[in-house]
Chain A
């Protein structure tokens, strides 16, 4: 029940976005992928979310390859920095639509439970029909999480989830990431946010120019200051 990358390379012409990435993302753990801009984080997210095919190497989920178009994508929940919802449709309509695309019928009570689970029940009172566009970014992000959890995915991917969140939102997000870990899901978070990483990570993967610079399993949480020192020291060594 884990996700593993085996010597994954991705080239775009002469540009090498990822180079021989070998890593293991265990279930029931939060793995945080860090790295400066251009380190290959987005390409890695593309491969993990089955939307990009690696040039060489394989990504496997429970022993099966994660190739574009695989039915395994139904076990993935994805939250990006954009909400991944139709901004012109209402909150309810969006969730019902995505539920139906996963073959689920979302009854009003189930919908209410889902919203409550992501802490949206009161905020959305009487505003369920408003287009998603009308909500604050924080609320959009909560809806995005509700959407990602609709089909009870065993693999949860987060791509810069805290980018649009205020401090309260960040606390909310951390809490939900922990819940996902307690539920035994495989959680992978790609982020710039060292504070979020320090407070949550069970595993740290630091990417640099498409390579793994640090791959470390943390037995005890790392303080943010220590993480920052580690991050900056690793990046300051010339390649």
Chain B
């Protein structure tokens, strides 16, 4: 009875690790649709609540900054559903424990989760953006690529912070309350820049594209900073105790 030679550790490449994590999350979602449905429903309800609160009987158009604000607020609030459910799925059946014991890098888990959340938020936006445009007669379709770019960068900055906190709160009882309380003040720059950029695009006259470019760059830079900080902070936060 001789002890077996330890099997050589084969660690998959970093990109593969990230891909596997993200693909796994999306695959689970593809089977259940749970996050997309609850998140999309919540986003639509928020938009509707604002519609009832703001739209007058006369049917005057809301100012672009109000419309874009409504859109971004609904994106932010519904985003918490994706953040907390995606980590609930790690906790179910203690899958996270098995995952943490595989030789993959913690930062790959972070990036994989980040991609998963960004994609889910994007899919919900595909529904919510046209709906907002319809409810408030806003011309969101005019600059489709711009809008997509701005929303995508906004999702990235938002999720970059959110994934860290959601992971840190994995075993906390008051997680859902704390998540929004901690997350929203931190992602305020993303909200400001995103809402500004969208409202510029909504300007019915000639949109001030130079400003839109500035805000898009701002979103890109703050998203980048948040991702870097997230990569840095995720490992110690996840190691717990």
CB atoms of B10 and A102 under 8 A apart = yes
Across the two chains, which residue of chain A brings its CB closest to B32? A88
Q: Measured between C-beta atoms, what is the minimum distance from B91 to chain A in Å? A: 9
CA of A167 to CA of B80 in the docked complex: distance in angstroms? Answer: 44
CA of A83 to CA of B106 in the docked complex: distance in angstroms? Answer: 21
- Give every chain B residue within 8 A of A69 (Cβ-Cβ): 106, 235, 239
- Give every chain B residue within 8 A of A152 (Cβ-Cβ): 4, 7
Across the two chains, which residue of chain B brings its CB closest to A182? B1
Which range holds the interface residue count of chain A? 35 or more
CB atoms of B94 and A83 under 8 A apart = yes
Q: Determine chain B's interface SS by DSSP, over half rule.
A: helix
CA of A93 to CA of B6 in the docked complex: distance in angstroms? Answer: 26
B58 lies within 8 A of chain A by Cβ: no
B:150-181 near A, CB below 8 Å: none
Across the two chains, which residue of chain B brings its CB closest to A62? B6
- Give every chain B residue within 8 A of A4 (Cβ-Cβ): none
A41 lies within 8 A of chain B by Cβ: no
Selected contact of A97 from candidates B11, B20, B93, B239, CB within 8 Å: B20
8 A-B pairs with C-beta separation under 8 A: A86-B89, A88-B32, A89-B31, A101-B17, A101-B103, A132-B93, A154-B4, A184-B4
CB atoms of A84 and B98 under 8 A apart = yes
B104 lies within 8 A of chain A by Cβ: yes
- Known pairs A1-B3, A152-B7; A78 contacts B101 (CB<8 A): yes
Q: Bits for B1-15, please: 1 = Cβ < 8 Å to A, else 0.
A: 111101101111000
CB atoms of B94 and A80 under 8 A apart = yes
A225 lies within 8 A of chain B by Cβ: no
CA of A76 to CA of B32 in the docked complex: distance in angstroms? Answer: 32
CB atoms of A51 and B24 under 8 A apart = no
Across the two chains, which residue of chain A brings its CB closest to B99? A101
Q: Bits for A93-108, please: 1 = Cβ < 8 Å to B, else 0.
A: 1000110111110000
Q: Measured between C-beta atoms, what is the minimum distance from A227 to chain B in Å? A: 25
CB atoms of A85 and B20 under 8 A apart = no
CB atoms of A147 and B103 under 8 A apart = no
CA of A131 to CA of B30 in the docked complex: distance in angstroms? Answer: 13
Across the two chains, which residue of chain B brings its CB closest to A148? B98
B205 lies within 8 A of chain A by Cβ: no
CB atoms of A51 and B240 under 8 A apart = yes
Q: Bits for B64-102, please: 1 = Cβ < 8 Å to A, else 0.
A: 000000000000000000000000010011110111111
Q: How many residues of B are counted as interface, with CB atoms below 8 angstroms from the partner's CB atoms?
A: 36
Selected contact of A85 from candidates B2, B7, B98, B102, CB within 8 Å: B98
CA of A131 to CA of B89 in the docked complex: distance in angstroms? Answer: 13
CB atoms of A71 and B103 under 8 A apart = yes
- Give every chain B residue within 8 A of A224 (Cβ-Cβ): none
- Give every chain A residue within 8 A of B94 (Cβ-Cβ): 80, 82-84
B60 lies within 8 A of chain A by Cβ: no
B27 lies within 8 A of chain A by Cβ: yes
CB atoms of B241 and A52 under 8 A apart = yes
Q: Measured between C-beta atoms, what is the minimum distance from A43 to chain B in Å? A: 9
CA of A69 to CA of B28 in the docked complex: distance in angstroms? Answer: 27
Beyond the given A88-B28, A88-B92, please list 20 additional residue pairs across the A-B interface where CB-CB is below 8 A: A28-B1, A28-B3, A49-B97, A74-B102, A75-B6, A78-B101, A84-B94, A84-B95, A86-B95, A87-B92, A89-B28, A101-B17, A101-B102, A101-B104, A102-B102, A152-B4, A152-B7, A153-B7, A184-B4, A185-B3
A192 lies within 8 A of chain B by Cβ: no
B16 lies within 8 A of chain A by Cβ: yes
Q: Bits for B88-128, please: 1 = Cβ < 8 Å to A, else 0.
A: 01001111011111111010000000000000000000000
Q: Measured between C-beta atoms, what is the minimum distance from A39 to chain B in Å? A: 18
CA of A183 to CA of B91 in the docked complex: distance in angstroms? Answer: 32
- Give every chain B residue within 8 A of A86 (Cβ-Cβ): 24, 28, 89, 92-93, 95
Across the two chains, which residue of chain A brings its CB closest to B239? A68
- Give every chain A residue within 8 A of B95 (Cβ-Cβ): 84-87
Most chain A CB neighbours (cut-off 10 Å) among B11, B17, B24, B102: B102
A50 lies within 8 A of chain B by Cβ: yes
Q: Measured between C-beta atoms, what is the minimum distance from A71 to chain B in Å? A: 6
- Give every chain B residue within 8 A of A147 (Cβ-Cβ): 98
Q: Measured between C-beta atoms, what is the minimum distance from B18 to chain A in Å? A: 11
CB atoms of B89 and A88 under 8 A apart = yes
Q: Measured between C-beta atoms, what is the minimum distance from A8 to chain B in Å? A: 14
A:46-87 near B, CB below 8 Å: 46, 49-53, 62, 68-69, 71, 73-76, 78, 80, 82-87
